[in-house]
């Protein structure tokens, strides 16, 4: 019984080390793009944080069944989400609006 547990632990350890090796390979291969890698990581964390905060803010609105507050939160999430998820597209829309207004 003990031999089976030791063997299973060894196999599990080998699998974990192999998976960590595969995971670390792209990170080590692209050391010349440190800024881009950090920026991508921060963007991913900011996205998760944004969605978590939006969900926490929406909980009281849902419990009060406040339609007006829910619409305001939805509008803010869509607008701010556009800046977070698609900054290039939002920039293009803002430039088009500005050139349309100012000329």
pLDDT single digits (tens) 37-72: 777 788 778 777 888 888 888 888 888 888 888 888
Rounded CA separation 77/52 (Å): 11
φ/ψ (deg, to 5) at 86: -140, 65
Reply yes or no on whether the pLDDT at 11 is more than 70.
yes
Rounded CA separation 74/86 (Å): 17
pLDDT of res. 53: 84
Domain spans, the chain: 2-29+37-102
Residue range 22-40: mean pLDDT, rounded: 67
Structure tokens at 2: 């003990």
């Amino acid at each position: 019984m003990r031999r089976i547990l030791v063997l299973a632990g060894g196999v599990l350890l080998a699998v974990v080390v192999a998976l960590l090796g595969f995971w670390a390979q792209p990170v080590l291969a692209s050391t010349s793009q440190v800024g881009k890698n950090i920026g991508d990581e921060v963007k991913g964390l900011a996205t998760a944080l944004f969605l978590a905060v939006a969900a926490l803010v929406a909980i009281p609105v849902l419990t009060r069944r406040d339609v007006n507050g829910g619409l305001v939160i939805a509008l803010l999430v869509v607008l701010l989400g556009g800046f977070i998820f698609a900054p290039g597209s939002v920039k293009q829309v803002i430039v088009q609006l500005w050139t349309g207004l100012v000329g």
